[in-house]
Amino acid sequence: MRLLAISALMALMLARVTDASDPNQNWIEIRSDHFTVATNAGEKEGRRVAEQFEQMRSMFHAAFATFRVTWGSRCTSSRRKMKRR
């Protein structure tokens, strides 16, 4: 009986750890002036990516100032698949 109780407790603990490490949880949204970044990598990483997007936008805007830009549809991605909204 004691072995059964210990086994059940260990199974519950393992299920809890597995659930907490699910990469599909804890998504956050980071907004910059021109971009919205959705990430589950944490706020610091999300802000770093948003800043890189802003730097690339600035570079392209400076290099191609006369180009007219037509914004496309929003694009969302996950590690499993990529889809357009």
pLDDT higher than threshold 60 for residue 83: no
Q: Return the C-alpha torsion angle 68, 73, 63, 52, nearest 10.
A: 160
> What's the pLDDT tens digit per position in 54-69?
999 899 889 988 887 7
Region 28-54 average pLDDT:
92
Query: With bands split at pLDDT 50, 70 and 90, how would you rate the model's confidence at 48?
Result: very high
- E strand or H helix that includes residue 31: strand 28-31
Cα–Cα distance for residue pair 9/61, rounded to 1 Å: 58
> Is pTM, for the whole model, over 0.95?
no
- State mean pLDDT over 18-22: 55
How do the domains of the chain map onto residue ranges? 15-75
Other Cβ atoms less than 10 A from the Cβ of 54: the count is: 14
Higher pLDDT, 8 or 45: 45
